[in-house]
Amino acid sequence: MSKISKFFKGNSNSSKKHGPTPQEAIHKLRETEEMLTKKQEYLEKRIEQELATAKKHGTKNKRAALQALKRKKRFEQQLSQIDGTLSTIEFQREALENANTNTEVLKNMSYAAKAISSAHENMDLDKIDSLMQDITEQQEIAQEISDAISRPAGFGEEFDEDELLAELEDLEQEDLDQHLVTAGGLPTVPSSSLPSRPASKKKVEVDEDMEQLAAWAS
């Protein structure tokens, strides 16, 4: 038998005997901790007093000094025992608190599980699958309708786009010609030749120099 099984079995036996609840046990342990803490404070004060008494008598009254030191030792032993007891009680209290927390967690988890079971009680998986299929089909139909609505109606698709562009160019050319005619017609090319450019004076002087050189050379 596992420790958990023994624990729950022990709890069932204790419940039959109407033992204390975890909350009651935790409360009692806290009261005990408070009492032992006060006892600690008392012993610490007594230890300080006995130490002061021993110092006061010293070697002048060895008997009284030794008795004070003996009492101090006993108080220190009691203080040490209380420290150990408090550690044990603290461990036991923490174990009870954890057990109480785990019990509440399990109780709430069981309550939630029952709620989930109740929520799923009237649910039929076959009906859910059928419903999801219907939803998927309706979504597909809606998508097809949206695609059909957004698709162009097809007007003009039987015409050649190149022919339409050529016709558009002809219309633009006709409009340009009409604009030129309205502005006064096309400009005419002049029939008479342009006047020749007179030779520069510098060129005439160069020709005369060349003639003089030619005459001298002959």
**Full pLDDT tens readout for the chain, 218 residues:** 555 555 555 555 544 567 788 888 999 999 999 999 999 999 999 999 999 999 998 888 889 999 999 999 999 999 999 999 999 999 999 999 998 889 889 999 999 998 888 888 877 778 888 888 889 999 999 998 888 887 766 555 566 778 878 888 888 888 888 888 777 655 555 555 555 555 555 555 656 666 666 665 55
Would you say residue 77 lies in a domain? yes
Q: Could you tell me which of 75, 93, 82, 97 has the C-alpha nearest to residue 35?
A: 82
Q: Is the entire prediction scored with pTM above 0.85?
A: no
Would you say residue 203 lies in a domain? no
pLDDT of residue 151: 73
Domain that holds residue 89: 22-113
pLDDT of residue 83: 94
Burial degree of 91 (CB within 10 A; 0-12, 13-18, 19+): exposed
**Alpha carbons 118 and 128: distance in angstroms, whole number:** 17
pLDDT of residue 206: 55
Q: Could you tell me which of 96, 77, 82 has the C-alpha nearest to residue 26?
A: 96
pLDDT of residue 177: 82
**Alpha carbons 122 and 120: distance in angstroms, whole number:** 6
Q: Could you tell me which of 70, 53, 50 has the C-alpha nearest to residue 61?
A: 53
- Number of domains present in the structure of the chain: 1
Would you say residue 37 lies in a domain? yes
Would you say residue 58 lies in a domain? yes
pLDDT of residue 20: 83
pLDDT of residue 15: 47
Would you say residue 49 lies in a domain? yes
pLDDT of residue 35: 96
Would you say residue 78 lies in a domain? yes
Which CATH number belongs to the domain containing residue 103 in this structure? 1.10.287.1060
Would you say residue 45 lies in a domain? yes
Would you say residue 170 lies in a domain? no
pLDDT of residue 75: 95
String of DSSP letters for 105-128: HHHHHHHHHHHHHHHHTT--HHHH
Q: Could you tell me which of 117, 116, 102, 90 has the C-alpha nearest to residue 26?
A: 90
